[in-house]
Amino acid sequence: MIAEWRKSILKGYSAMRNIVNETGEIIAKATRDGTLVGGHHRIAVAASLGQKLLWQDSGEPVSLDAFFRHPHSSSSQRHIASGAR
């Protein structure tokens, strides 16, 4: 049972993507479907400073529209970073 749990954790790790700023500094981490799992505050700061955020693996811009929506505007409380995958 523990081995299965460990596999699911490691499988989740392989499905992670990094969000970087223009200089290549890792700002946040997200799952392949765009759910932010770390760096929420750093993303907010970078966006407020007007930094361009990119997916590290593809170099494509990250759309943060869903992240900055009012929390009561949707039924989901998860923050989603989108962009071409």
Angstrom distances, CA of residue 85 to CA of 14, 45, 78: 15, 24, 19
Instruction: Please tell me the predicted confidence (pLDDT) of residue 47.
Output: 87
Instruction: Give the predicted TM-score (pTM) of the model.
Output: 0.64
The pLDDT confidence band at residue 19, using thresholds 50, 70 and 90, is: very high
Contact (Cβ atoms closer than 8 angstroms) between residue 37 and residue 31: yes
Contact (Cβ atoms closer than 8 angstroms) between residue 13 and residue 32: no
Q: State how far the Cα of 76 lies from the Cα of 85, in Å rounded to an integer.
A: 22
pLDDT, mean of residues 65-80: 58
Tokens for 70, please give them. 């009012």
- Asked if pLDDT for residue 37 goes beyond 60, the answer is yes
Instruction: Please tell me the predicted confidence (pLDDT) of residue 76.
Output: 52
Q: State how far the Cα of 21 lies from the Cα of 56, in Å rounded to an integer.
A: 9
Q: Where are the alpha helices (DSSP H) in 1-85?
A: 2-14, 40-48
What mean pLDDT is reported for the chain?
A: 77
